[in-house]
Amino acid sequence: MNFSKQLINWYLQNKRDLPWRETQNPYLIWLSEIMLQQTRVAQGTPYFLSFTAAFPTVFDLAAANEEQVLKLWQGLGYYSRARNLHFTAQYIYNELNGVFPKSYAEIIKLKGIGPYTAAAIASFAHKEPVAVVDGNVFRVLARFFGIHDDIAITKTRAVFQNLANELISTKHPDLFNHAIMDFGATVCLPANPKCSICIFNENCFAFLKNEVAQLPVKNKKISVKNRYLNYLILRNNHGIVIQQRTEKDIWQQLFELPLIETSSDNEEEFFLHLSNLYPNNSIKKVTANTIKHKLSHQQLHINFYEINVSKFTSNQQTSAIQDLHNYAYPIVIWNFLKDFFTLEKI
């Protein structure tokens, strides 16, 4: 059987209608690929449309300030992606005369672009026959060919990359890459794959050997760190205190409320600590239940405390309630602020 031809034929009949597929503009392809890293298509599509409306060209993105970029990115997570996008747009504008590189070898040199994204841009925009390898591709190839190499090990990527490069259609590399990603996303699913309607089920190693649930092999366990974040709503009639996260940590450059991070979830101990910090102020815990927010390697346990203060200090940045929407926040903070102050959703 011809794996590539059969896969492309399936794709031409079943491809998803996505806004970034009707273009060969490398800028738009780049945006979509960066946005879809760690993000589902359904979630990423509205962001893509908003982003391209605000920044239709690489020149527009380069000319924007970081606050604008982060605000539009709010809710997508992994904010380093947005900062790298902005940096690279400025580099293309200032150093490359606004011309996006055309070859895989040149594209991969850009900040924030790895092998997968470089392959996607090169194949979709310029039909360079270099295969994309992401989670979908690992899964499809591991199951079909019966590859038991551990995908959590770095050197395994080369095994899959070499195989995918052998399989890719040199005539239609763009269609092949779209096809194998779509197939993994809609048929060869991580859980409950649609093996009964799979076009490869007569030849698929995993299906024939009853190893679908075991492939691909991924043995590396992710260590999750618990963090306890206590946010203070320091407010009076003029507004509340906000601050920007500047250290190299989660949510860098985004805004939040004054924060006290503790080593445990002992609320009584923390409330006593807070009473000592603000002995003459009205203090109220406003989260009935601790908010849990999971990141890739961290589990955040978040509570909010409202504290009325008579005046703000000179070194505190403040915002009127009606102006809070002008800043970019981690989505968990923005959702709280929006609900607590009954702000309009933006």
Residue pLDDT, tens place only, 76-95 = 988 999 999 999 999 999 99
Residues annotated catalytic, as ranges: 33
Total Cβ atoms within 10 A of residue 96 = 14
Strands 225-236 and 298-308: parallel
What is the pLDDT at residue 345?
46
Which letter, b or e, does each residue of 43-81 get, where b requires 16 or more Cβ atoms within 10 Å of its Cβ? ebbebbeebbeebeebeebbebeeeebbbbbbbbbebeb
Distance of CA 319 to the CA centre of its chain: 28
Band of residue 346 on the pLDDT scale cut at 50, 70, 90 = very low
Per-residue pLDDT of 97-130, as tens digits, reads 999 999 999 999 999 999 999 999 999 999 999 9
In the predicted structure, residue 344 carries a pLDDT above the cut 70: no
Mean pLDDT of 235-257: 94
Mean pLDDT of 14-38: 92
What is the pLDDT at residue 69?
96
What is the pLDDT at residue 120?
96
Per-residue pLDDT of 124-148, as tens digits, reads 999 999 999 999 999 999 999 999 9
Write down the mean pLDDT value for the chain: 93
Band of residue 38 on the pLDDT scale cut at 50, 70, 90 = confident
Which residues lie closer than 8 Å to 73 by C-beta, 6 or more apart?
A: 47, 51, 79, 81, 82, 328
pTM: 0.85
Q: Between the CA of residue 23 and those of 30, 137, 209, what are the distances in Å?
A: 11, 23, 40
Please report, rounded to a whole number, the percentage of residues in the chain having pLDDT higher than 90. Answer: 82
Calpha distance 85→100 (Å, rounded): 13
